[in-house]
């Protein structure tokens, strides 16, 4: 009897995570094993064995114990391992310096491929993204705040520095570079706006699924978006992200918007990958604006003060028909944008006077910066009119602010002063 108690205590000491599928398999295998032993002991013509069964209860109990231990050993060896947590992926990628992944849009007309490199100290060094929309191909390289932008369809290469553009690049890296993406998700969960669920598969060899739901207008910077969902597929052995399925909520259901696939981890890139000048055709036009002080310097001014001063300076230059100065205050990344601003905006209206500039206000999510409303009197086609304008302004680079967007609206006649 002491042996029975020892075996019973041994069984009681076995611990495992509760899982309905595993419990069902344990129950099934126990029943099958016990039925085989019962049939063998009581089959016809085996009266000798049947007579000895009552005397063999301790042996039978020991056999049952061995069955339990064997089943638990074969079915639960994986379930005893810790459940997956986001921190495991963070630890797996913390020393990786090279990431290479690709996105295929749901329509097959849009795709992009990205290469991200860190220096030995763990700081972001280079980012390259190739983008294809139909037959249009573009490439962007960012390094230490300087951006190269190559557009084959317009045969031009632009080199500029702009804080808002840098913020978008860094946001992309935080979202889809595994070295930063998991930390980003943890921060966003704490700040609210997204929900994360981890699906732990019963089979230890199956991919781990991390489902991330985004509230409207929280998925991207400066671009309104509906409710979105991402499904991260994590390798259970390496804890590395292998793919991310992107879905959009449309008409009450999630539809496929594309898939990120992670192609290489830790494989150094080819020399020259981050130098687009080497890929540019000899006859390609160049636009370099890194030496131009766009917008105005903030200095000791508050954000609200520099926003008002920026808008006032732009309107005064516009009223004086100093279009070059107005374009410089407005700010641009490509020289062609300055000409477009002159042709499509500045020369079409003459600013007569600034009637008011209202207090800046923060825009609705996901827009960034500040909104500055104002009222102006202007002349268009020989007619004097009163109009409302709303400027969106934000940081440019080197402690300077610039204009990002200008919305104009004519005031009805009965509301004119």
Q: With a cut of 60, say whether residue 79 has pLDDT above it.
A: no
* CB-based contact 78:208 (threshold 8 Å): no
Q: With a cut of 90, say whether residue 295 has pLDDT above it.
A: yes
Average of per-residue pLDDT across 120-139: 96
Average of per-residue pLDDT across 32-60: 48
- Output 287 or 408, whichever has higher pLDDT: 287
pLDDT tier at 76 (50, 70, 90 boundaries)? very low
What would the pLDDT profile of 358-397 be if each residue is shown by its tens digit? Answer: 999 999 877 889 999 999 999 988 899 999 999 999 998 8
pLDDT tier at 25 (50, 70, 90 boundaries)? low
Residue 56 is predicted with a pLDDT of 37
Residue 336 is predicted with a pLDDT of 85
pLDDT tier at 334 (50, 70, 90 boundaries)? confident
Residue 272 is predicted with a pLDDT of 95
Mention the CATH class of domain 86-285. mainly beta
pLDDT tier at 12 (50, 70, 90 boundaries)? very low
Instruction: Tell the CATH topology of 296-415.
Output: Nuclear Transport Factor 2; Chain: A, (3.10.450)
- Fold: same for 86-285 and 296-415: no
What would the pLDDT profile of 200-254 be if each residue is shown by its tens digit? Answer: 888 888 999 999 999 998 888 778 899 999 999 999 999 999 999 999 999 999 9
Mean pLDDT lowest among 20-24, 66-70, 234-238:
66-70
Domain ranges of the chain: 2-75, 86-285, 296-415
């Amino acid at each position: 009897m002491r042996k029975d108690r020892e075996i019973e205590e041994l069984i009681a000491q076995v611990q495992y995570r509760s899982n309905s599928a595993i419990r069902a398999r344990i129950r099934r295998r126990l029943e099958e094993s016990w039925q085989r032993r019962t049939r063998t002991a009581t089959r016809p013509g085996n009266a000798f064995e049947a007579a000895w069964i009552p005397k063999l209860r301790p042996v039978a109990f020991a056999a049952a114990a061995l069955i339990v231990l064997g089943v638990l050993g074969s079915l639960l060896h994986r379930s005893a391992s810790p459940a997956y947590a986001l921190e495991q992926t963070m630890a797996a990628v913390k020393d990786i310096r090279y990431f290479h992944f690709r996105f295929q849009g749901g329509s097959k007309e849009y795709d992009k491929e990205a290469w991200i490199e860190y220096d030995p100290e763990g700081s972001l060094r280079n980012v390259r993204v190739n983008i294809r929309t139909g037959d249009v191909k573009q490439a962007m390289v960012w390094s230490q705040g300087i951006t190269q932008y190559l557009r084959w369809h317009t045969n031009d290469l632009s080199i500029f520095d702009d804080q808002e553009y840098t913020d978008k690049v860094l946001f992309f890296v935080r979202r889809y570079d595994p070295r930063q993406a998991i930390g980003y998700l943890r921060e966003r969960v704490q700040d609210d706006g997204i929900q994360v669920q981890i699906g732990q598969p019963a089979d230890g060899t199956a991919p781990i699924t991390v489902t991330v739901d985004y509230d409207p207008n929280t998925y991207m910077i400066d671009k309104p978006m509906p409710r979105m969902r991402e499904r991260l597929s994590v390798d259970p052995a390496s804890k590395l992200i292998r793919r991310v399925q992107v879905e959009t909520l449309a008409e009450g259901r999630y539809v496929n918007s594309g898939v990120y696939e992670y192609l290489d981890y830790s494989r150094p890139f080819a020399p020259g990958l981050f130098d687009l000048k080497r890929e540019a055709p000899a006859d390609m036009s160049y636009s370099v604006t890194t030496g131009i002080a766009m917008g105005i310097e903030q200095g000791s001014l508050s954000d609200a003060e520099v926003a008002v001063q920026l808008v006032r300076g732009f309107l005064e230059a516009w009223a004086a028909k100093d279009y070059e100065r107005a374009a410089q205050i407005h700010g641009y990344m490509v020289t062609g944008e300055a000409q477009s601003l002159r042709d499509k905006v500045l020369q079409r209206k003459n600013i007569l006077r600034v009637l008011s500039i209202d207090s800046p206000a923060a825009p609705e999510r996901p827009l960034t910066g500040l909104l500055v409303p104002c009222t102006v009197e202007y002349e268009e086609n020989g007619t004097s009119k009163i109009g409302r304008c709303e400027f969106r302004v934000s940081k440019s680079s080197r402690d300077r602010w610039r204009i990002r967007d200008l919305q104009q609206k004519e005031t009805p006649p009965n509301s004119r002063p």
